[in-house]
Structure 1
Amino acid sequence: MKRSTAHIKLATLAALACLCQATTAQADSQWQWRDGSGRMVYSDVPPPPSVPAASVIKAPGRFAGSLRPVEPPGGSPAAAAGPAGVAAATQAAPAPGAKGNGNAKKESVASAEEAFEKRRAAQAKAEADQAAKDLAAQERQVRCAQSRNYAMSLQQNRRIAVSAPDGSPQQLNDDERQAELQRVNATLEQNCT
């Protein structure tokens, strides 16, 4: 009876954790700004161009007052956005004679995605390499422990049998035991120090 109660509690806690995480993720994708009358507005889309950047309190993945995704029509971003807009206008101003920065934005997004994919692939490769190294080290420890146990058995004069070429067990005599012990100790020195 206690076991089923513990399972119910654990399932309830897991469900609450998932719900909290989903709520947090949803809250992180929200925009927050004050409109012209001072009311707080929450939305999952960016504010209209008429809202100055200084009025934007929260933007997904950005700090308040950072670059705006939508420029106001017929005016410069600096005029509508205040000091934060001046910095944005100086950073995002197109070169003179340029016909638009739509392609530049697409290229920068694509290059950012490529860079992210490269970093993610490099991290996955590094994690796989580290996992392989850890597994090899673990297997080495097991082999070394087995070799140490075998050497101890040889030193204690326990009966040791090896397989003959025909597959039948063959007992080691004293000379063969010493030769086997020397071989095992050499292997331990070489691989397990």
Structure 2
Amino acid sequence: MQVKKLLLLALAGAFTLGASAQWQWIDKDGRKVFSDRPPPQDVPDRNILKQPHQRAATFAPAAAPAPQDGTEGAGAAGEPAPPQPSRQDKELEAKKAKAEAAEAARLEAEEKARAERAARLRAENCTQARRMATTLGSGAPLAHINAQGERVVMDDATRAAELRRAQSVIASDCR
């Protein structure tokens, strides 16, 4: 009976150690993901909550006092100096910055093209509305097609309504 309890305790300990070596991150949909494999490359570093062989930071370590003998680097208590970023990390950061700059430039170009398209459409609407207002204001007889598909001469009420509509387009698009 004692052996079974020890075996169960050992299994529980192994399970706990295995669970602590998992990855945790927040995916693009905002859900927390647990896995024994690293997250995809498109997950930003700030969304990675836990990595194997990394303790979760629950408190900020106090700054180590400066050594009294004037030496730098490893502390007097034998603590190693904090690791310096490797060259590969610097290259990765440079690539990441370059990709972010390219994405920002692409978004800016899309926004500029969208604004140019909208301005072009407003200018076309303005031109057509001015032509329509000129035609409607001339007093010449005009015809239009009614709901039954028949050609009908435009009466004064319809002419006034169309003129108001053209003037509202001019007011909004001809700035």
Instruction: Give the TM-score, by structure 1 length.
Output: 0.45
Instruction: Give the TM-score, by structure 2 length.
Output: 0.49
**Relative contact order higher in (CA < 8 Å, ≥ 6 apart):** 2
When you count helix as a share of all residues, which structure comes out higher? 1
